[in-house]
Structure 1
């Protein structure tokens, strides 16, 4: 049993000596293996400076067309739903304003057969002011949504041209330095022209 332990110990020591007796590479000599140059050809999509202007123009002509130009088709129903909501409230407030205005005009003409029998003349005037105000707010909101549609198409076209390829990167790295036989850990910012 004791001989078995001696034998294992001697074999382990010999393996260690053999592994450490390897020929060391001179760290001052640079070989072709150390210098590796890669010939990568980078193909970039050309930047069209007029693309944002086209997208904005298309959205101004027909809302949602700029989003289609940018291939963001999921935004088109949102644009039309928002514009449709604004137009709906504008038309609803306009119809209510017309109803109260017609009733007030009939009362001024001497008729008392309008649909608002239990509302006074002052109440009709206040209702007309409220629905006129709501109608104007609906108009401004609809115009704002139309403008946001144009701005969204323009900004989205700008962002589609943003460079996110490997020539512009920020990533962590672990690198083994052969010259010093040490390792480096850090962050790398790469920008290739």
Structure 2
């Protein structure tokens, strides 16, 4: 059986080798070029005025928006590790990228660091709340199971004793179970807010926010001419400076 398999493999390799050899022969045997139809180009500059040589690139350079690139990188990092996108935005300030670079970087870095602390502070508080809710839920569940097995009698070794009724312990169990669900939902909100904040901050690095931009709002009067004379209407005047 092994000899038959070996014979089949040798036959396949031989077949492939012969096909590759035939293809190589077909590629190397080419039709000779017809030299009678070859035209000799006239050398440039031998006679007549010199023509300017212009070059047009067929491939135009594609514009890359640095704000979009930074935003995608910040989102990707924040999706992997919460707060990593904010650290990337802080690195943009250190490297001098964007229109915000060089303008009160200390306050911007302090603000970005505060957001990172808020993210992990919120995660820590939610984790502590989840652990506490889980412990209280398990205690209430254990007490209910004991009362169910012993004719609605309280567990003498439990933390509740006879102070709480069965209905009160059931309500307590449902409350802490709902609190755990709220904590899990809050985890998702913190994670989503972390991604959105990193993206918006990265895009704002490349927005023009120099002193030439300004908005001015001031009271004004609108003259509505009528056939009887001058009629002034109070209004607000909005001025945009670029």
TM-score range, shorter chain: 0.5 to 0.7
Q: CA deviation at 1:70?
A: 0.5
Structure 1 stretches lacking a partner, 5+ long: 1-45, 173-186
Instruction: State the alpha-carbon separation in 1 of the partners of residues 134 and 240 from structure 2.
Output: 62
Note closer, same or farther for the CA distance 1:149–1:98 as it changes in structure 2 (3 Å cut): same
Q: Does 1:84 align with 2:124?
A: yes
What's the TM-score once normalised by structure 2's chain length?
0.48
Please say if 1:146 is aligned against 2:186. no
Answering whether residue 148 of structure 2 is matched by residue 108 of structure 1, we say yes
TM-aligned CA deviation for residue 188 of structure 1: 8.2
Deviation (angstroms), 1:141: 1.6
One of 80, 89, 92 as aligned partner of 1:61? 80
State the secondary structure of the residue aligned to 1:164. coil
Cα distance per residue 1:52-84 (max 9 Å; x no partner): 121112111111111000003332111100111
Which residue of the other structure, out of 156, 163, 166, is the alignment partner of 2:208?
163
Are the aligned partners of 1:87 and 1:139 in contact in 2 as well (CA < 8 Å)?
no
- d(CA) in 2 for partners of 1:69, 1:87: 26
Alpha-carbon shift at residue 171 of structure 1 (Å) = 8.9
Gaps (5+ residues) in structure 2?
Answer: 1-64, 91-111, 217-238
Contact 1:60–1:150, Cα closer than 8 Å, also in 2: yes
Q: In angstroms, what is the RMSD of aligned CA positions?
A: 2.4
What is the CA distance between 1:165 and its match in structure 2?
A: 4.4
Pick closer, same or farther for the CA change 1:105–1:171 going to 2, 3 Å.
Answer: closer
* Distance in 1 between residues matched to 2:215 and 2:133, nearest whole Å: 56
Determine if contact 1:83/1:146 at 8 Å carries over to the other structure.
no
